């Protein structure tokens, strides 16, 4: 019972830290997944965040509870000051804890040394599961990674949490390295039968891309990166001008906004955020990007996003510059909703209105975007400029291995649920056969074009125009020859 209670505190600690860590890692995680796989499917996101929570829990298990730092700490933990380098010492501990008695209860059921060994075996067993199912690692790689992770845990304990304590408070035991590594390998072996019954993460990614070639989350992540980059650039420029004895004029902020959202897309076809997320801007008519359409699109984005950000910025400045921030925050802590009302009362009517208007516009924009069949935002529809995808890393590697553009289409078609890879996913999630000029084109190529960024056909827009805007893929004749060769 005492040992089980000792494991509860690390689990609670990990549960308390996980939401904050997940929030901090959300943006970089989304960027990595979209660049590598083109989509952040639910299965992959759940698997990745499950691995993050497990990693945090396993780390807390090795250091929590933290002892209180006292003058006699090294004397209290003198028995664990030196590492235990003798393999097999665990069996000696089991025999010692059994009081040299032979029996099921003494040797197994009621033996704390056995319970500790089983815990060490189970500690890295989920690591083997994740390494095989999520990261597709081999048994040899799993053993090496399991040993490295176990060694990091043991070194953390031996160094007193890397110098946080003057002496170690837990034992560095070579048997723990052996048992932990064996646990990771056991997890890898046990995952085999289960993994064969579950769809691969690549299959889930392919289904999501077939339904939505340009995922809403990918565009939203690019917008968040762009807005954050614009804010950082503006703050940095204002700080430099203030340091030189001047002040940041209003036109400077407008100039940075125009350069970021109009001039850079005009010159390169994408904003920095879209370039990072492997997106580009294309015109509905298939022609080049024109300045007035980009300016209209940027103006609409600014109208939807900037009032909300400006209101939050002004609110933060108000709270920081008020002469009574400590008393205000104490009121928030003590009185809950009444304190929150006090914070709102500290804002001027203009600042509060800016926050409410910006928030309302953002909610309306998101709602209209999600309800649109092609997930087009209002600024996309009004300006006539939409997003298209560039090949993500996994699709680019697949195309490089095959030497043509048909591999991505076949993979996407197979992932969409057909055995021969002949599914055709449209932008609104329906599976239809192509018509018109594309009727004689093999279906895998149509999926490849959708997966690699061909925008969906808009009302009144010819399908042939949609095909010319695909970022990669061979022409009709080359497609027929590649499909014939593959068959």
Considering 188, 206, 224, which residue would you say is the last residue of a domain?
206
* Global pTM value: 0.69
DSSP letter at 110 equals T
Residue 279 lies in a domain: no
Which residues constitute the domain of residue 9? 2-80+118-206
Beta bridge mates, 199: none
Evaluate whether 191 touches 135 at the Cβ level (below 8 Å). no
Residue 144: closest CA among 180, 95, 195, 168: 180
- The sign of the torsion formed by the CA atoms of 453, 456, 461, 465 equals positive
Residue 282 lies in a domain: no
Beta bridge mates, 281: 387
Mean pLDDT per block of 10 residues along the chain (487 residues) reads 68 90 91 92 88 93 87 87 85 70 68 81 94 92 96 92 89 92 95 85 86 89 91 86 75 88 94 95 92 93 68 53 46 45 61 70 83 88 93 85 56 39 36 36 38 40 36 40 39
Phi, psi of 385 (to 5 degrees): -125, 130
Q: What is the pLDDT of residue 457?
A: 41
Residue 370 lies in a domain: no
Q: What is the pLDDT of residue 73?
A: 87
Residue 315 lies in a domain: no
CA dist 126 and 59 (Å) reads 13
Six token digits for residue 140: 């040899």
Evaluate whether 270 touches 385 at the Cβ level (below 8 Å). no
Residue 284 lies in a domain: no
Angle between helices 174-197 and 89-97 (to 10 degrees): 100
CA dist 270 and 272 (Å) reads 6
Tally the domains of the chain: 2
Which helix (H) or strand (E) element contains residue 279? strand 279-283
Residue 474 lies in a domain: yes
CA dist 270 and 387 (Å) reads 9
Evaluate whether 284 touches 384 at the Cβ level (below 8 Å). yes
Residue 276 lies in a domain: no
Evaluate whether 127 touches 101 at the Cβ level (below 8 Å). no
Which helix (H) or strand (E) element contains residue 387? strand 385-389
CA dist 333 and 317 (Å) reads 20
**Inter-CA distances, 90 with 170, 173, 176, 397, 482, Å:** 15, 9, 9, 47, 61
Residue 146 lies in a domain: yes
Q: What is the pLDDT of residue 477?
A: 42
Looking up tokens 């933290």 gives 66
Considering 159, 190, 206, which residue would you say is the last residue of a domain?
206
Beta bridge mates, 84: 173
DSSP letter at 259 equals I
Residue 44: closest CA among 189, 187, 215: 215
Looking up tokens 């969906």 gives 456
Looking up tokens 């904003």 gives 271
Considering 164, 187, 206, which residue would you say is the last residue of a domain?
206
Q: Which residues of 269-298 are buried (b: 16+ CB within 10 A; e: fewer)?
A: bbbbbbbbbbbbbbbbeeeebeeebbbbbb
CA dist 135 and 257 (Å) reads 40
Q: What is the pLDDT of residue 416?
A: 38
Phi, psi of 98 (to 5 degrees): -85, 0
Is it true that the peptide bond before 65 is cis, omega within 30 degrees of 0?
yes
Six token digits for residue 238: 């204002």
121: three-class secondary structure by DSSP: helix
Which residues contact residue 482 at a Cβ distance below 8 angstroms, ignoring those fewer than 6 apart?
404, 405, 406, 474
């Amino acid at each position: 019972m005492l040992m089980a209670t000792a494991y509860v505190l690390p689990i609670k600690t990990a549960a308390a830290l996980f939401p904050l860590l997940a929030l901090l890692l959300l943006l970089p995680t989304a960027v990595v997944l979209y660049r590598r796989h083109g989509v952040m499917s639910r299965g992959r996101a759940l698997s990745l965040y499950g691995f993050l929570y497990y990693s945090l829990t396993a780390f807390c298990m090795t250091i929590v509870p933290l002892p209180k730092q006292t003058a006699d700490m090294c004397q209290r933990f003198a028995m664990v000051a030196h590492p235990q380098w003798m393999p097999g010492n665990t069996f000696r501990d089991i025999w010692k804890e059994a009081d040299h008695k032979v029996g099921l209860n003494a040797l197994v059921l009621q033996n704390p040394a056995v319970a500790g060994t089983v815990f060490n075996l189970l500690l890295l067993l989920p690591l083997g599961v994740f390494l095989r199912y999520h990261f597709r690692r081999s048994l040899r790689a799993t053993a090496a990674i399991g040993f490295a992770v176990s060694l990091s845990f043991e070194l953390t304990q031996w160094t007193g949490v890397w110098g946080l304590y003057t002496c170690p408070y837990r034992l560095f035991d070579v048997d723990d390295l052996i048992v932990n590594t064996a646990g990771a390998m056991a997890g890898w072996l046990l995952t085999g039968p289960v993994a064969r019954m579950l769809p691969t993460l690549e299959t889930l990614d392919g289904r999501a891309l077939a339904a939505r070639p340009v995922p809403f989350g990918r565009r939203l992540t690019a917008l968040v990166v762009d807005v954050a980059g614009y804010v950082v650039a503006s703050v940095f420029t204002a700080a430099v001008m203030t340091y030189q004895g001047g002040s940041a004029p209003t036109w400077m902020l407008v100039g940075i906004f125009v350069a970021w959202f109009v001039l850079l897309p005009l010159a390169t076809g994408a904003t920095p955020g879209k370039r990072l997320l492997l997106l580009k801007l294309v015109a509905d008519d298939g022609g080049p990007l024109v300045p007035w359409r980009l300016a209209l699109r940027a103006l609409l984005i600014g109208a939807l996003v900037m009032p909300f950000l400006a209101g939050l910025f002004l609110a933060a400045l108000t709270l920081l510059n008020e002469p009574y921030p400590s008393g205000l925050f104490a009121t928030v802590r003590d009185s809950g909703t009444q304190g929150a009302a006090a914070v709102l009362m500290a804002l001027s009517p203009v600042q509060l209105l800016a926050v409410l208007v910006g928030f309302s516009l953002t909610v309306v924009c998101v709602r209209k975007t999600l309800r649109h069949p092609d997930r087009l935002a209002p600024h996309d529809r009004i300006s006539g400029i939409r997003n298209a995808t560039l090949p993500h890393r996994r699709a680019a590697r697949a195309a490089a291995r095959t030497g043509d553009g048909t591999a991505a289409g076949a993979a996407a078609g197979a992932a969409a649920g057909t055995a021969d890879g002949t599914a055709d996913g449209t932008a609104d999630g329906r599976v239809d056969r192509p018509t018109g000029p594309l009727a004689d084109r093999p279906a895998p190529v149509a999926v490849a074009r959708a997966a690699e960024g061909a925008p969906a056909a808009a009302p009144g827009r010819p399908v042939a125009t949609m095909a010319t805007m695909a970022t990669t893929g061979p022409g009709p004749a080359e497609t027929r020859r590649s499909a014939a060769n593959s068959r």
